[in-house]
A and B are shown apart, each in its own frame.
Chain A
Amino acid sequence: MIDLHGYGPRLLEGALVTIELGVLSLILAIILGLLTASAKMSRNRLLHGIGTLYTTIIRGVPDLVLMLLLFYGGQIGINQVTDLLYYQFDIDIFININAFVAGVVTIGLIFGAYMGETFRGAFLAVDNGQIEAARAYGMTERLMLRRIRFPLMMRHALPGLSNNWMVMLKTTALVSIIGLVDMVRVAEEAAKATHEPFTFMVPVAIIYLLIASVSEWFFSRLQKRYNVGFGEAE
């Protein structure tokens, strides 16, 4: 067994942070992605414009720059707002951005844009006949979305979704730069302290590969579930 110089438990804690961060940002990104997709498909020009601007800008700027901007700039921005509230309306609140929240918000915000594109393409790929049939049954828009469009859309969205998740998982490593103690951060500190970079970086890489493999399996199961009725007869 390799000697982790007592950094083992901290490394596992870091891995937990990585997973938590990934899952929470994935949820945020899916919500934002669905909102963006509906904004971009709406007939309202303002909503369409906002959606397009959001996806274009986010996808044109590096993740790290956005993360630094939101992490360092976010606190100053919020302080300015709370100062204004205090002077104008005498409301005294103090909001402190911690690195974890900043990380979740930034990664969610970034991948919301990518998810938006995935969902938009998937919604457009749903067969028109299905929607016509639902209308013919007299379904309301809401019921149609729940029973027809969403489940059919997911079949097309899943490959993109799993791809985005894999990229996102690797992006979570960047939070170590803004001071969040994920497993990369622990490994870096340990490598610097012990002068044994490979002892710590290799396990971290293996954990990433492990998470990726497990999620690949999970997504293939999910894909099978949503493919029901589309495959060939057995």
Chain B
Amino acid sequence: MEQLFAWLSDALADNTVFNFNTLTFYGRGLVNTVQLVFLSLVIGLVLAVPLSIARGSKHKWIKLPIFFYTYVFRGTPLLVQLYMIYYGVVFIDGIQDTWLWYFLKEPFYPALAAFTLNTAAYTTEIFHGAIKATAKGEIEAARAYGMSHRLMMRRIIIPSAFRRALPAYGNEVIFMLHASAIASVVTIMDLTGAARFVYARYYAPFDAFLFVAAIYLCLTFAILYLFRYLEKRLLAHLRPVS
């Protein structure tokens, strides 16, 4: 590690923009971005699974509110949602006296809430589409076995639907990574925030933004390959015989 640092500072000795200081900014930005995206995706996924099942319910009073939620969150820009939560949460009466304020006074948690709600809405629709597209034969076969609705959901529909949703969900993960760039607007030092800081300090837009674009590109490709690997493993039975 010591050697690495020594080598790094040597290599960067005559570079005015990318010195040790700015690289630590980018490093912290990377950590913030990954944290924000990963947490919102995990919580969003946990929320989306029951919501997507309830979205296909026969009862209107279950189905309609969820449809309304996904329609609103998918139909408005994430930036507007972020502003609403970030600026809006302060004005809830008495919130500053509760323990919640401890979290909410940092911009990280309102941003996390906005991202989570947004990704949960998209993921719900993706899963709902996959559940609806389940082959009729599979459901008929399960019925013929005398499975209850609950058992059929657990053993037949969900495993096959979630596998088929994998490619679309992979797109959603990449979309979320890219959408997280707006976190820099509410003063979070994510990757884009670091780039904006470096730009403002050295007035070097090409260096600052091209470097961060390269990092995002690497992250995108990493996610892409992860999902390609998962698809290969989990969707092996759907591949055409070569």
Contact = CB atoms under 8 A, between A and B. Distances in A.
User: Chain B contact residues: over half helix, strand or loop, or mixed?
Assistant: helix
B77 A173 contact: yes
Select the residue from B181, B216, B220, B221 with max chain A CB neighbours within 10 A: B181
Nearest to B33: A62
A3 B91 CA distance: 17
Nearest to A210: B75
A60 interface: yes
Interface string A26-38: 0000000000000
A62 B181 contact: yes
Contact of A192 (B87, B88, B213): B87
A228 interface: no
A68 B78 contact: no
Given A69-B213, A76-B205, A209 B181 contact: no
Interface in B135-179: 177-179
- Contact size range, B: 35 or more
B80 A65 contact: no
Interface stretch (B14-22, B46-54, B56-64, B191-199): B191-199
Contacts of A204: 76, 80
A188 B182 CA distance: 14
A201 interface: yes
A62 B179 contact: yes
Contacts of B181: 62-65
Interface residues of A, number: 39
B23 interface: no
A208 interface: yes
B216 A65 contact: yes
Contacts of B217: 57, 60-61
Contacts of B131: none
Interface string A173-206: 1101100000010011001100111100110110
A69 B87 contact: no
A88 B214 CA distance: 33
B216 A62 contact: yes
A53 B94 CA distance: 53
A170 interface: yes
A47 interface: no
21 contacts: A57-B213, A59-B220, A61-B217, A62-B180, A62-B181, A63-B178, A64-B181, A65-B181, A65-B209, A68-B209, A72-B199, A73-B205, A172-B77, A174-B79, A187-B80, A188-B83, A188-B87, A195-B91, A198-B88, A205-B76, A209-B75
Closest 7 CB pairs of A and B: A173-B77, A197-B87, A73-B205, A62-B181, A69-B209, A62-B178, A72-B205
